[in-house]
Amino acid sequence: MEKAQSQDAAVASSDSSALKMSWLRICDRLKSEVGDVEYRMWIQRITLGALEDDEITLYLPERFLRDWVRAQYGQRLQSLWREENPAVQHVELRIDKKAQRAAAIDDLPQVSSDSSSISTIASEDAAALEREEAAVATPTSVSEVRNDLAVPLDRRFTFDNFVVGKPNEFAYACAGRVADHPASPGFNPLFLYGGVGLGKTHLMHAIGLKLIERGNISVAYMSAEKFMYRFIASMQSKSQMEFKEQLRSVDVLMIDDLQFLIGKNSTQEEFFHTFNALVDAGRQIIVSADKSPSDLSGLEDRLRTRLGCGMVADIHATTFELRISILEAKAKASGTPVPPKVLEYLAHKITTNVRELEGALNRLIAHADLVGRPVTLESTQDVLKDMLKAHERRVTIDEIQRKVAEHFNIRLTDMSSARRARAVARPRQIAMYLAKQLTSRSLPEIGRKFGNRDHTTVMHAVNRISELMEQDPGLAESVELLRHMLES
Ligand code: ADP
Ligand code: MG
Q: What domain range includes position 371?
A: 320-390
244 and 139 inside one domain: yes
For residue 241, tell me if it sits in a domain: yes
Nearest 10 degrees: Cα torsion 383, 385, 390, 395: 130
132 and 280 inside one domain: yes
- Counting atoms of ligand 1 from 1, which one is nearest the CA of 165? 23
| pLDDT for res 99 | 59
* Across 28-37, 227-236, 370-379, 407-416, least confident range: 28-37
Counting ligands in written order, the one closest to the CA of 206 is 1
pTM, entire model: 0.60
Q: Output the domain CATH number for residue 444.
A: 1.10.1750.10
For residue 293, tell me if it sits in a domain: yes
User: Half-sphere exposure of 121 toward its Cβ, with a 13 Å CA cutoff?
Assistant: 16
- pLDDT category at 394 given cuts 50, 70, 90 is confident
Q: Which residues surround ligand 2, an ion (CB under 5 A)?
A: 200-201
Count of domains observed in the chain: 4
263 and 146 inside one domain: yes
pLDDT at 132 exceeding the cut of 70: no
Closest by Cα among 472, 395, 470, 476 to 430: 476
Instruction: Give the distance (Å) from ligand 2 centre to CA of residue 198.
Output: 8
Instruction: Give the distance (Å) from ligand 2 centre to CA of residue 201.
Output: 4
| pLDDT for res 240 | 87
For residue 306, tell me if it sits in a domain: yes
420 and 373 inside one domain: no
Instruction: Give the distance (Å) from ligand 1 centre to CA of residue 356.
Output: 10
For residue 113, tell me if it sits in a domain: no
Of the three residues 335, 355, 390, the one that is the final residue of a domain is 390
Instruction: Give the distance (Å) from ligand 2 centre to CA of residue 195.
Output: 9
143 and 274 inside one domain: yes
132 and 21 inside one domain: no
Q: Which amino acid is at 433?
A: Y
216 and 308 inside one domain: yes
Q: Output the domain CATH number for residue 226.
A: 3.40.50.300
pLDDT tens digits along 178-197: 999 999 989 999 999 999 99
Q: Which of 193, 202, 351 to mutate to test the pocket of ligand 1 (most atoms within 8 A of CB)?
A: 202
What percent of the chain is modeled with pLDDT above 70?
85
222 and 138 inside one domain: yes
Residue 334's contacts (CB-CB under 8 Å, 6 or more residues apart) are: 361, 362, 365
pLDDT tens digits along 266-299: 899 999 999 999 999 999 999 999 999 999 988 9
For residue 304, tell me if it sits in a domain: yes
Q: Output the domain CATH number for residue 24.
A: 3.30.300.180
With a Cβ cut-off of 6 Å, ligand 1 is lined by 157, 161-163, 168, 194, 196-202, 326, 354-355, 358
**CA-nearest residue, atom 23 of ligand 1:** 163
Of the three residues 352, 367, 390, the one that is the final residue of a domain is 390
- pLDDT category at 13 given cuts 50, 70, 90 is low
- Rg of the chain taking only CA atoms, in angstroms: 28
Consecutive H or E run containing 172: helix 169-180
86 and 189 inside one domain: no
| pLDDT for res 374 | 93
Starting at the earlier edge strand, list the strands of the sheet with 219-223: 219-223, 252-256, 284-289, 190-194, 311-315
| pLDDT for res 166 | 94
Q: Degrees (nearest 5) of the Cα angle 22, 28, 34?
A: 130
310 and 364 inside one domain: no
Instruction: Give the distance (Å) from ligand 1 centre to CA of residue 203.
Output: 8
Cα 189 to Cα 288: distance, rounded to the nearest angstrom = 10
Of the three residues 344, 361, 390, the one that is the final residue of a domain is 390
Residue 200's contacts (CB-CB under 8 Å, 6 or more residues apart) are: 192, 193, 194, 256, 257, 288, 315
Instruction: Give the distance (Å) from ligand 2 centre to CA of residue 140.
Output: 19
**CA-nearest residue, atom 1 of ligand 1:** 197
154 and 260 inside one domain: yes
Instruction: Give the distance (Å) from ligand 1 centre to CA of residue 414.
Output: 45
Closest by Cα among 89, 79, 94, 26 to 52: 89
For residue 121, tell me if it sits in a domain: no
- Counting atoms of ligand 1 from 1, which one is nearest the CA of 124? 4
For residue 218, tell me if it sits in a domain: yes
368 and 409 inside one domain: no
For residue 203, tell me if it sits in a domain: yes
Mean of the per-residue pLDDT values for the chain?
A: 84
Q: Which amino acid is at 184?
A: S
**CA-nearest residue, atom 11 of ligand 1:** 355
pLDDT tens digits along 15-47: 788 888 889 899 988 888 877 767 877 888 899
